[in-house]
A and B are shown apart, each in its own frame.
Chain A
């Protein structure tokens, strides 16, 4: 590509991203205004300041990427902007007392996202020290067994208090998600080809290469199950299976893994009350609608109440769903924006998945391919697990909707992942296509 053509492509990239961001901004601001009118009957600053900050952040991110990453994928930032902006409107709607914190996390997340996009050295540090990164992540996770707390005062103690800053917590399992993907990507980058060839030597040959991998992965799973963070454990398993399938091309791993997941589910059903509750509530929630299945039943009411066009922002009753701002944001979307809104949300995640997997396809190096695919699969699987849980396709797994639900650690790590996608998109050859 000539210099002129490259500059032209970069300009076109910038215009495309700017146009999409403007559309997203219009959507977010209109909804913030509608929320203010619905709740207070007038325009109130308390509903507008957060979208204002978001607008500044996204504008800055656009200019930054245009300056430092002109060849990035122009669709990823608008998609992420839509998710985070919509998320802010939702948190204002559902749990306004968490809004300021979420905005702070968004500021930090955007900073991390942009910082990651200009990482030097072709991610060598991530690849070279994969065991160190993962071990660090596991140590942090293990620390929650001793120092872990739950900010809400009940439930699994998955958070570590950040020293010297009062009332701020970090969830190591979120960090571990990214570190595990980096580890798997690095491992398959190095051993993937040998792993594929070792299949000719039978299971013993395969195990030679898989053992370190399984060991590290097993540590993660043990810790997560010990912690009762079953949602994260399920996510890890899915990402692991998907990348293993990418590396080996052998569907039997997926089948065996699926079987193991099912067995683990059956075991968990009998071993953990929480799992039994969720499975029972999923299978037939109606007899226990006022008690153990209250949350899922309220979620189904929210879906039904939304109908096709929705109740309108601020005009439904999604707050009947316990912890709606973290686990059931999708139900709130379905109630207030209707089927149109919830299908749009599905489409946004699908488009993000498409752009991410496209990056994986275009990646020049296997490490980047695994990394892009791993991040995309993780974000997609997380969105799918909670969407399927809310719509009663699957039992609830206790994960949040990435970039939308309330949660600082999730916002930071998801932003870092998106940053990595943008970083890699700048290196892909067919920019702007």
Chain B
């Protein structure tokens, strides 16, 4: 059979087919290898969500190993469960739609079990479930539950600290941290829009992010600083201790009646605002700023939660700043840290919220709080003498005050408490918003300290 013209063309067509398949092969390499990292990272890639749903996040436990958060598996995917919604100001939430908050946010990569490049490669290759690591917090479930119950329907914040422990650690551990109104992280996805737009801001952690006018809650720290500077002496006489101070048109007096021959110690014990303004003659704005800074009131506390620093605008009026009615606003966390410094011989506390982390093989490693032992607000004798001046009852040293919150704001109640009286181990700070009933604030603080004392 004589070959026709087509014979020679078959090889050419085969080469064309080969070239076309080669082009497909190069395109495959391009998309599966070269462009893959960019593409996979796109937000609209549903595989991001799918792979996220298959990660078994680590558990979050309280100081005694009780569950605060865990991942439960249903139909091959994991959902996050929070057995103690009252712990949401600390634990936060984990949501595919709305991201993370609290410890869930700050320890996200740890809870997800991201151990590094090679471990991830091995896991992907072997198709193993990504397992996160557990965390143990310093929080106490019972105290947290009680703190939450004590705040009840009121709007406010509560912080309970343990100053050092039996083992001799100088870490200041957070035992309870409550913020009201709050939210149930189990229902976050359903209610997020409502929560995020609510006027009372339930998603705001009032302990770490709530910025309050401090008012006379600053008095112990200012007087400690002034004492340290030699600007005053506690036994120095003060004239007209109970004279009123007008703030926003409202006259404020001492919380209780001071003796006729009052001293600076009486001014503190009776929470008198009048003489504080006279201090402007002895403590200028620069010195006052230094005192605030030394007590950490103008710094961001080091804690694995979203925190707000005080707005450190310059002091516009020293007289107002001395009664906490100037530009400085503070969070309960900052006040709690300063309060703990007065209780702990003037040393600023090493705040601790995470007690221990778990390794891949299940062993627990104690978490060391960031060391700042060298930072001292005031000398120990100054701190102790201030503390001894404060009113004490039933083993609890306390300082409480009502604070006008700006020209249009209401009255906030502050309570700072310590127990035991002689060698404080626990400190509490309570703030109630728009609550002119000081006894209510004091009752919450006292009950909290009593609960921890008899635990």
A-side residues, CB < 8 A to B, are: 188, 192-193, 196, 242, 245-249, 289-290, 297-298, 300-301, 303-309, 311-312, 315, 317, 320, 334, 338-339, 342-343, 346, 349-350, 353-354, 357, 360-361, 364-366, 369-370, 373, 376-377, 380, 384, 387-388, 391-393
Chain A residue with Cβ nearest B126: A312
A315 CA to B46 CA, complexed, in Å: 14
- CB contact between A342 and one of B20, B32, B47, B50 (< 8 Å): that residue: B32
Pick 24 A–B contacts, CB within 8 A, sort by A: A188-B6, A246-B13, A247-B5, A301-B40, A301-B42, A303-B36, A304-B37, A305-B36, A305-B40, A305-B47, A307-B33, A308-B32, A308-B33, A334-B28, A339-B29, A342-B28, A343-B28, A346-B28, A353-B18, A357-B17, A369-B7, A369-B10, A373-B10, A384-B17
CA distance A380 to B39 in the complex (A): 29
In Å, the complex CA distance between A255 and B31 comes to: 30
Q: Closest CB-CB distance, B54 to chain A, in whole Å? A: 10
Please measure, in the bound complex, the distance between the C-alpha atom of A246 and the C-alpha atom of B12, giving whole angstroms.
Answer: 9
Residue of B nearest to A294 (CB): B44
Q: Is A350 a contact partner of B28 (Cβ separation < 8 A)?
A: no
CA distance A71 to B10 in the complex (A): 22
B47 in contact with A301 (CB, 8 Å): yes
**How far is it, in angstroms, between the C-alpha of A366 and the C-alpha of B37 when the chains are bound?**
51
Query: Would A303 and B24 count as touching, CB distance under 8 A?
Result: no
> Which residues from A are CB-within-8-Å of B251?
none
Residues 33-77 of B contacting A (Cβ, < 8 Å):
33, 35-37, 39-40, 42, 44-47, 50
* A192-B5, A361-B7 as given contacts; A343 in contact with B25, CB under 8 Å: yes
| A339 contacts B32, C-beta separation under 8 Å | yes
> Is B250's CB within 8 Å of the partner chain A?
no
A350 to B23, CA, bound (A): 12
Evaluate whether A392 and B27 lie within 8 angstroms (CB atoms) in the complex, with A245-B13, A342-B32, A360-B10 already known.
yes
**Is A338 touching B32 in the complex (CB atoms < 8 A)?**
yes
Give the number of chain B interface residues (Cβ < 8 Å): 38
| Cβ A246 vs Cβ B14 within 8 A | no
Q: Is the pair A315, B32 in contact by a Cβ cutoff of 8 Å?
A: no
Say yes or no: B17 contacts A377, CB within 8 Å: yes
| CB–CB B39/A192 < 8 A | no
| Bound-state Cα–Cα, A349 to B24, Å | 12
Residues of A within 8 A of B20 (CB): 380, 384, 388
CA gap between A242 and B50 in the complex, in Å: 45
Q: Which single residue of chain B is at the shortest CB-CB distance from A312?
A: B127
Given A242-B13, A384-B20, A388-B23, A369:B6 Cβ within 8 A: yes
Say whether A334 contacts B32, CB under 8 Å: yes
Cβ-defined contact, B28 with A303, below 8 A: yes
Q: Which residues of A contact B9 (CB under 8 A)?
A: 245-246, 249
Residue numbers in B under 8 Å from A317 (CB-CB): 46-47, 50
Residues in chain A near residue B14, CB distance under 8 A: 353-354, 357
Measured CB to CB, the closest approach of chain B to A226, in angstroms, equals 28
CB–CB A192/B4 < 8 A: yes
Give complex CA distance A196, B3 in Å. Answer: 13
A349 touches B21 (CB 8 A): yes
Interface positions of B (Cβ within 8 A of A): 1, 4-11, 13-14, 17-18, 20-21, 23-25, 27-33, 35-37, 39-40, 42, 44-47, 50, 125, 127
In the complex, which residues of chain A have a beta carbon less than 8 angstroms from the beta carbon of B18? 350, 353
Question: A304, B31: Cβ atoms under 8 Å?
Answer: yes
User: Is B44 touching A290 in the complex (CB atoms < 8 A)?
Assistant: yes
A365 contact set on B, CB distance < 8 A = 1
B40 pairs with A304, CB closer than 8 A: yes
| Nearest chain B CB to A370 CB, angstrom units | 7
Q: What's the nearest-Cβ distance from chain A to residue B15, in Å?
A: 10
Q: How far is the CB of B21 from chain A (nearest CB, A)?
A: 5
Q: Which of B8, B13, B21 contacts A357 (CB 8 A)?
A: B13
The complex places the Cα of A377 from the Cα of B9 at a distance, in Å, of 13
The 7 closest A-B pairs by CB, nearest first: A304-B36, A391-B27, A246-B6, A304-B39, A303-B31, A357-B14, A249-B5
A388 touches B10 (CB 8 A): no
Chain B hits for A377, CB < 8 A: 13, 17
A392 touches B24 (CB 8 A): no
- Assess the B17–A309 pair: CB atoms within 8 A: no
The 8 Å CB contact of A361, one of B11, B35, B37, is: B11
If A303-B28, A308-B32, A339-B29 touch, does A380 touch B4 (CB 8 Å cutoff)?
Answer: no
What residues of chain B lie closer than 8 Å to A369, measured between beta carbons? 6-7, 10
**20 additional A-B residue pairs with CB within 8 Å, beyond A380-B17, A380-B21:** A193-B4, A196-B4, A242-B13, A247-B5, A249-B5, A303-B36, A307-B32, A307-B33, A312-B127, A334-B28, A338-B32, A357-B10, A357-B11, A357-B13, A361-B7, A370-B6, A373-B10, A377-B17, A387-B24, A391-B31
Contacting residues, chain B, for A366 (C-beta < 8 A): 4, 6
In the complex, what's the smallest C-beta–C-beta distance from B1 to chain A, in angstroms? 5
**What's the least CB distance linking A221 to chain B, in Å?**
21
Is the CB–CB distance between B24 and A393 below 8 Å? Answer: yes
A245 CA to B17 CA in the complex, in Å?
14
User: Known: A192-B4, A248-B5, A361-B10. Contact between A388 and B127, CB under 8 A?
Assistant: no
Please give me the residue from chain A that is nearest to B23 by CB atom.
A393
Residues of A within 8 A of B5 (CB): 192-193, 196, 246-249
Contacts of B8 in A (CB 8 A): 249
**Whole-angstrom CA separation of A354 from B27 in the bound complex:** 21
Chain A residues contacting B125 (CB-CB under 8 Å) are 309
B23 — which chain A residues lie within 8 A by C-beta?
388, 393
In the assembly, what is the distance between CA of A338 and CA of B46, in Å?
Answer: 18
**How many angstroms between the C-alpha atoms of A349 and B30 in the bound complex?**
20
Hey, which chain B residues are within 8 Å of A312, CB to CB? 127
Q: Would B7 and A353 count as touching, CB distance under 8 A?
A: no
Q: Which residue of A lies closest to B14 (CB)?
A: A357
Chain B residues closer than 8 Å to A370, beta-carbon distance = 6
CA A353 – CA B15 in complex, angstroms? 10
**Closest partner residue, chain A, to B45 (CB atom):** A301
Q: In the assembled complex, which residues on chain A have CB atoms less than 8 Å from the CB atom of B42? A: 289, 301
Q: Do A391 and B28 have beta carbons less than 8 Å apart?
A: yes
Residue of B nearest to A331 (CB): B31
CB of A239, distance to nearest CB on chain B (Å): 11
Residue of A301, A311, A373, A387 touching B39 (CB-CB under 8 A): A301
Q: Knowing A317-B46, A364-B1 touch, does A346 contact B32 (C-beta < 8 A)? A: no
Chain B residues whose C-beta falls within 8 Å of the C-beta of A354 in the assembled complex? 14
Residues of B within 8 A of A307 (CB): 32-33, 36
| Cα-based distance from A125 to B441 in the complex (angstroms) | 102
Bound CA span A365–B2, Å: 9
For residue B13, which residue of chain A has the nearest CB? A242
From residue A369, how far is it (CB to closest CB) to chain B in Å?
6
Is A303 a contact of B6 with CB atoms below 8 Å? no
Alpha-carbon distance between A305 and B31 when the two chains are bound, in angstroms:
9
Chain B residues with Cβ under 8 A from A364's Cβ?
1
Residues of chain B with a CB closer than 8 A to A308's CB? 32-33
Q: Which residues of B sit under 8 angstroms from A384, Cβ to Cβ?
A: 17, 20-21, 24
**Chain A residues positioned under 8 Å from B25 (CB to CB):** 343, 346
A132 to chain B, nearest CB (A): 25
- Chain B residues, CB < 8 A from A247: 5-6
Query: Which among B17, B28, B46 is the interface contact of A339 at CB below 8 angstroms?
Result: B28
Cα(A286)–Cα(B21), bound, Å: 26
Enumerate chain A residues within 8 angstroms of B17, measured Cβ to Cβ. Answer: 350, 353, 357, 376-377, 380, 384
A147 to B50 CA separation, bound complex (whole angstroms): 43
Q: Cβ of A346: which chain B residues have Cβ within 8 Å of it?
A: 21, 24-25, 28
Give, as a whole number of angstroms, the nearest-CB distance from A186 to chain B.
14
